[in-house]
Amino acid sequence: MAFPRPKPTTMETLAMERANPPFNIRKMSIAMHGSEKALILKEKFMAEIARHPAFKLSDIHDLSKDELRERTMEKFASMVYFVTNESLETFQLRMQLIGIADPSFWTRFGVAYGLFLGALRSGATPNQLSYWIDRGVLGLNGVIGCFAMTELAHGSNVAGLETTATFDRGSDEFVIHTPHLGATKWWIGGAASTATHAAVFAQMIIDGKRHGVKTFVTQLRDTKTFTLMPGVTIGDIGKKMGRDGIDNGYIQFTYVRVPRAHMLMKHTQVSRDGVVTEPPLAQLTYGALLGGRTSMVTDSSNSAKKALTVAVRYAAVRRQFATGKNELETQLLDYPIHQRRLMPLVAQAIAIGFTGLRLQVMYEDMTQALDTMEPSDPNLNDILDKLKETHATSAGLKAFCTWACLDTIDKCRQSCGGHGYSAYSNFPLMYADFAVQCTWEGDNTILSLQAGRSLVGAWGGAVKGKKLAPGVAYLNDSSLLSAKSDSSLSLSDIQRAWNCVAYNVIKKAAEEYVALLKSGKSKDEAMEKCSQSRFIAAKVHTIGYIFRLFKEAVEEMKDDEESRTLRTVAKLYGLWQIEEQQGYFLKYGYFNAQQIDKVQEAVDALCLEVRGVAIPLIDSFALSDHIINSPLGKWDGSVYESYFAQVQAANPLPKEHPYFTRLIKPLLERQNEDMEDPGSAMGLDDELKEIEEERKGE
């Protein structure tokens, strides 16, 4: 008698997926993290926070808003130790990991250190910065900062902020005031419960003249009693879509006085007599924005990798339906359509990760150049051109990378079926926590248009024969206007495809803009009228830029199994995105219809190829079970056991039903009373019959 082959357990299935990978997972992981040092530090950080009681994550889905906020504050003490004892590079890597594990804390801590301290570093003079550091900014012993930029009626338009800072020459003070409800500072992380000081963005007014938005350090609370300072009104803006560990609040100022020295004066100075000196190079203020955008590109990759770790491992162990003559149900990951759902997203997350690594190097080089640059520097114009290009490129990358990550999280959730909808899958919290990235530090659509505006400007420079910065240098190559594929679908063919289409869509946006100017429109009106073309230009340029940085990173590696696998991943990313945006490639003739069919076939084949190494690739993301915090993505494959245990532990049945007596029992025991029929009680039908007979007798 033949017995059916026993079904392998989920743990056995995942172990088989992991067996004999074609590349060294450790070496692949080092490549993805930029260095062995960065990977070792990450592993150290993961071990530390896994054992820290404040970083318990398994119960996070069942905590209330107030409990989340309290736990967020519990983490501060441990992080203060590290921020004051580690190098900046090491601490940034630590916070990068914590941003994946606990986005609420990452944001709340980032408000104090990234935004408030960042405002001081980028806007204060050396003496001002020393003053605030002496008063405890670094150790949070005397100053806990927040970043008061956005207002109820203004967000992205910083120049339009309406809080005022009016100089009082007699007292040598600025008077900070909220003139109306719309000027209320809103969404201010840390304001509701924890901040003592704020970096307040306000319109500077001297002798009735406005000088634009400047930054003023303003005390909110007494550091001993924590009571609000005179003239300061603060409230809580309540529950949000996600990141409830952050105490976002609103602030209103009623003629609050701050010393003139509390205005940050690195760029613009105001003397005791009220004389204003503006910076000789206003463009230098761009540099302050690049750090945040760079970190958001990296965070987009890391958060997408977290979601994909769960979805791909689950797809490997989940079996649904038997196909063909197979006795076993088929692994989800073996279905071509499921490979299509996830493998391109894996390629995209890896591509964005390599882009983030290279962008960080560019940012550090740019920061160093800006810190040492003088107005008399002979390389001034080249540096400023590169700064403008990096600023615009980072705007597009922030927008399209955060959009890509949010889309990845939701597609991963859907790919896990009903279990993906459970809070314990961690997808709902991942999605809710990440969604804000598409809005803060610049709304994505607005940032896309900024990038598009810069590309239109770059096109104008190329037409005049100007040698462009590296990121847009392809606009100097007019042969791209009518370039055609060589049908190889190689990495170089894919790169030329993106350059060709980006060249053409930027040309279209620029020509629209010029035509609108000639028709009599102002520069601003013309830019607005061609906004859709600018948006398309930014999108195509940014996708091509991500591909180029990924391709360059891979081609710089020595030829081994790891680099060959990454070349396959890069090819999948580039061709999948061509397929997604195929209309533009057909429109500008780089590919014909038959070649686009070949692109689709190539993507199918590449998805299958990447599927073969999917679990080792996911393992190289190096995310511990504690960090991903999802039973569906357990490293050992114990999906159902872990899921059941977590649900059972988090939802014990109460000894007494909480509302049986009050609500359910009366419902079950209600008496169905016989309802009286008014017609029968009246004898109405008989009466109507008599009336009818009388009518007939007449």
Q: Which of 584, 573, 348, 543 lies closest to 451 in space, CA to CA?
A: 543
| 155, pLDDT greater than 80 | no
Query: In angstroms, rounded to a whole number, what is the distance separating the alpha carbons of residues 408 and 339?
Result: 14
CATH architecture of 121-274: Beta Barrel (2.40)
Weakest mean pLDDT among 67-71, 374-378, 456-460, 677-681:
374-378
Say whether pLDDT at 673 is over 90.
no
* Residue-range domain boundaries for the chain: 121-274, 285-651
Q: Which residue has the tokens 């967000």?
A: 155
Measured between alpha carbons, how far is 547 from 570 in angstroms, rounded to an integer?
7
The helix/strand/coil state of 199 is strand
Give the pair of three-digit tokens for residue 419: 């279990």
CA torsion 607-611-612-614 (nearest 10°) is 130
At 297-318, the pLDDT tens digits run 999 999 999 999 999 999 999 9
45, 50, 88, 291, 464 from 96: Cα distances, Å: 10, 15, 12, 13, 43
Query: Per-residue b/e over 61-77, b at no fewer than 16 CB within 10 Å?
Result: beeeeeebbebbbebbe
Distances (CA, A) of 56 to 50, 72, 489, 620, 631: 7, 11, 48, 24, 15
Q: Phi/psi at 550 (nearest 5 deg)?
A: -65, -45
CA 312 to chain CA mean position, Å: 21
Instruction: Name the pLDDT band for 393 (thresholds 50, 70, 90).
Output: confident
- The DSSP symbol for 143 reads -
83 pLDDT above the threshold of 60: yes
Q: Which residues contact 407 (CB under 8 A, 6 or more apart)?
A: none
Regarding beta strands 164-168 and 197-206, do their DSSP bridges make them parallel or antiparallel, or are they unpaired?
Answer: parallel
Say what the pLDDT of residue 282 is: 58
Between the alpha carbon of residue 140 and those of residues 137, 246, 631, 696, the distances in Å are 5, 17, 36, 99
Asked whether residue 6 carries a pLDDT value surpassing 50, the answer given is: yes
pLDDT tens sequence across 315-344? 999 988 877 777 788 889 999 999 999 999
DSSP 139: T
Kind plus residue range of the DSSP H or E element containing 381:
helix 380-415
Q: What percent of the chain has pLDDT over 70?
A: 95
Tokens of 476: 């100097």
- The one-letter code for the residue type at 87 is S
Q: What are 127's two structure tokens?
A: 């003496």
Q: Tell me the H-state helices in 115-272.
A: 117-123, 126-134
Burial class (CB in 10 A: 0-12, 13-18, 19+), 511: middle
- Among 17-21, 97-101, 150-154, 196-200, the range of highest mean pLDDT: 196-200
Q: What is the CA angle 109-112-116, rounded to 5?
A: 145
pLDDT at 682: 81
Q: Which of 487, 478, 394, 488 is nearest to 441 (CA)?
A: 394
Most confident of the ranges 82-91, 272-281, 507-516: 507-516
What mean pLDDT is reported for the chain?
Answer: 90
All residues at 6 or more sequence positions from 544 whose CB lies less than 8 Å from its CB, including other chains: 495, 498, 499, 501, 502
Q: Which helix (H) or strand (E) holds 106?
A: helix 103-110
Residues 12-62 have pLDDT tens digits of: 898 999 998 999 999 999 999 999 999 999 999 999 999 988 888 888 888
Instruction: Name the CA dihedral angle for 16, 17, 22, 24, rounded to a multiple of 10 degrees.
Output: -90
Looking at per-residue pLDDT, the higher value among 251 and 376 belongs to 251
**How does DSSP assign 207-235, residue by residue?**
TTEEEEEEEEEEE-B-TTT-PBPTTEEEE
Instruction: Indicate the pLDDT class of residue 121, thresholds 50, 70 and 90.
Output: confident
Q: What is the pLDDT of residues 544-584, one digit of tens each?
A: 999 999 999 999 999 999 999 999 999 999 999 999 999 99
- Report the 10 Å Cβ neighbour count for 446: 15
Distance CA 218, CA 278 (A): 22
Mean pLDDT across the stretch 463-470? 89
Number of helices and strands in the chain (H, E):
26, 11
What CATH number labels 285-651? 1.20.140.10
Q: Which pLDDT value is given to residue 285?
A: 55
Which band of pLDDT confidence, cut at 50, 70 and 90, is reported for residue 1? very low
pLDDT tens track for 172-211: 999 999 999 999 999 999 899 999 999 999 999 999 999 9
Sole residue written with tokens 């980006």 = 502
Provide the annotated binding site: 150, 189
Q: What angle do CA 342, 344, 345 make, to 5 degrees?
A: 65
Q: Residues forming the annotated binding site for FAD?
A: 150, 189
Could you tell me if 80 and 91 are in contact, meaning their C-beta atoms sit under 8 angstroms apart? no
The upper half-sphere exposure of residue 278, i.e. CA atoms within 13 Å in the direction of its Cβ, equals 8
In angstroms, how far is CA 92 from the centroid of its own chain?
A: 17
Under a CB-based contact definition with an 8 Å cutoff, are residues 279 and 370 in contact?
A: no
Question: Read out DSSP for 490-539?
Answer: -HHHHHHHHHHHHHHHHHHHHHHHHHHHHTT--HHHHHHHTHHHHHHHHH
Of these ranges, 1-10, 407-416, 658-667, the one predicted with the greatest mean pLDDT is: 407-416
Q: Which of 162, 441, 512, 562 does the annotation list as catalytic?
A: 441
pTM of the model: 0.88
Phi-psi label, residue 2: left if phi above 0, alpha if psi -120 to 50, beta otherwise: beta
Q: Is 528 assigned a catalytic role? A: no
